[in-house]
């Protein structure tokens, strides 16, 4: 399994619009190609649920945070720890 080197990614599925930018950016990083089927983040449309989309991660995910950085709707957020001013 890949090393989890960065802070975990917080998921808010209620914000997800299914744009698939996260899958495209992840596959570009992993495979150097825009191929959502190769992405380590998976967006699945739900039918008959209160949520429209389900977001999951495969074993290949190493928490690099690229998907969160490019998600335009704050459905994926990676909080980097920043030192407080004056400390
Ligand atoms: S954190 Fe990185 S490896 Fe994991 S799904 Fe997002 S872009 Fe892909
Ligand atoms: S998680 Fe963000 S980038 Fe990915 S499909 Fe949902 S809204 Fe788009």
Domain, as residue range, for 44:
9-78
Which residues line the pocket of ligand 1, CB cutoff 6 A?
Answer: 9, 26, 29, 40-41, 57, 61-67
Position 83 in a domain: no
Q: pLDDT tens digits for 62-83?
A: 999 999 999 999 999 998 776 6
Whether 53 is in a domain gets the answer yes
The structural domain count of the chain equals 1
Domain membership of residue 4 (yes or no) is no
The reported pTM is: 0.88
What's the CATH number where 50 sits? 3.30.70
Cα separation of 54 and 60, whole Å? 18
Contact 69, 78 (CB under 8 A): yes
In this structure, is residue 86 part of a structural domain? no
Q: What is the pLDDT of residues 3-19, one digit of tens each?
A: 567 889 999 999 999 99
Cα atoms in the Cβ-side hemisphere of radius 13 Å centred on 16: 27
- Per-residue pLDDT of 44-63, as tens digits, reads 999 998 889 999 999 999 99
Distance 86 CA to ligand 1 centre (A): 33
């Amino acid at each position: 399994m890949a090393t989890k080197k960065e802070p975990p990614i917080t998921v808010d599925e209620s914000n997800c619009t299914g744009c698939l930018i996260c899958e495209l950016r992840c596959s570009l990083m992993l495979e150097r190609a825009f191929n959502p089927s190769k992405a380590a983040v998976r967006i699945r449309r739900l039918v008959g649920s209160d949520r429209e989309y389900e977001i999951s991660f495969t074993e290949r995910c190493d928490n690099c945070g690229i998907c969160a950085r490019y998600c335009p709707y704050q459905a994926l957020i990676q909080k980097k720890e920043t030192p407080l001013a004056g400390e």
